[in-house]
Structure 1
Amino acid sequence: MLTFIAFAVFATWYTTCLFFYVATDEARADLAPEFEQKYGIDAMTHPIVMADYWRDGHYNIRPLVGLCIFLTIVSTGLGIMTFCTVSILRYLSRAESLLSTKTRQLQYALFRSLAVQTIIPVIFLHANCALAIGLPVFGIDFSLFCDFISVSCSCFPPFDAVATILLMRDYRKAVRSIVMCSYCTGGFSVLINGFFLFLIVFNSPASLTRYKVLLGNSAATDLVFSLSTTFLQCRLIPNKWAFAYVALGPAKYFGEQVSYYTYVLQLHSLFYLFLCFPVIISLRVDNGYC
């Protein structure tokens, strides 16, 4: 069923864009200066999907038909979602006494997840697309918001996934366990500090001559600390009056000495960076960066 729906919607949109949202030469010529100024492309030859609603003092029928198809698809989808939402709520209210606590909690969690998965695309995708497609029918200029509309459409997939993860308890637990994993945080730290070091070396302004060295020193030290942390995977084990550190990362396969030296390197980079902070702060004050 889902495969059929996906194919049908794709075919509908493909046909609509192919036959009803056609970029005519006159419309391309009108947009050519803005295309050249904003994107540096030739509007006369670049592939474009265009709805030219008004031309020569009258409405064009083809893009209006495409608009009607769009509104039909969206309104049908919203109608089905509304009907299903009401049906689910009625079923849960009737069957509440027949369901176990765990099953009821799971069903309500799934319902909340579906509701959020519906609301997010409506806000970030459908509403924005409706504005982009519908406002030109009335001659309303929305050029100030066109870039925002494109960005908000790209925000929909991550927000949708994050919202679902936060609403489902099992997913939240899995994310918590992954975040607590030093491989994840350490690897991310290595990437960020490596990129930061790249920016310092190749993109620092000339005015940061001395401060650039200290920034590079901090980034390199953080990078060493991240590498040693990821390689060591040190875990703390307390026991009332005592505590111990144990290496659970790749360092454990190289023997005690390698683990010990890696731990010393980790401590050294941590406290070395801490002792460098007064120098960095004094240089910032001396050069007027604060």
Structure 2
Amino acid sequence: MSNTALNITPTTEDSQFVRFWNEVLASKFIRFKHILVGGLSRHSEAVFPTLPVHPGDHVLDVGCGFGDTAIRLAELVGPSGRVVGVDCCEAFLDYARAEVRTRGLTNVCFVRADAETALPTNQFDFVFARFGTMFFANPVAGMRNMRKALRPGGRMVHIVWRDRADNPWLSMAKDVVLRYLPSPGTDALTCGPGPFSMANEAVVRAMMTSAGYDRIEFRRVDAPVMVGKDVDDAIAFQLAIGPAGEVFREAGALAESKRTDIESALAAAINGQKTAADGVVMDSSSWVISAINPQ
């Protein structure tokens, strides 16, 4: 499958948020790929059996990251279907393409593109996004583009995190770090609105209605996530990525001067969590939001 045949325009001019993902966050996400792919797999396992995907379908995976969800979708659509994964980080897509080559798959490809500005139109039966739409700088525009990529009657599903209180795997570490460091200022460099920007059902429903969707439905999914192979790995993950990582990164030299105390406090908090054969496990909760393109 070629990009030209799919009518996808690769990203050529990056927004501030896209540059931040590529220049700052990409290397951190790669370092913790084992958590971001393997650790979140429990959420995927809870969701994938219910996805409205069938053999022969054409599927778009928005914010596909390292390609694990796109590959799962390719397995569902089979050789007569096709899957296109798009992401703004070329470094992530390099891993995705390598995995596809290893598996010998021919029904999935990956394109660097910004879903807020460049998606194909009227080409797909199903559009999917796992933990990506929360970072849209303009969520209505991004979700409208996702809808326009669908054929009339096509379906979309996106998964987003619910409230902070229901996601201690993200919120707890930030609370600990804020005991030692100030909150980031309004001029802080950021990856976008953040992981909890779509936690409010009423707000997201209004966004999706504005984006043109119909039959919008929310389903809560609670699932454990693995946050590290061990406590040290979990601490490093929290200080690199997510809300706690943003606080630590923005504090700069002050954060480094207090690193020992912060790591000790995080160790005490994380030691109180559950453990499993593959590492430290914490509770999490998401919305699985589905809708159709009525046009």
Shorter-normalised TM-score: what interval? Answer: under 0.3
TM-score calculated relative to the size of structure 1:
0.20
Rg (Cα) greater in structure: 1
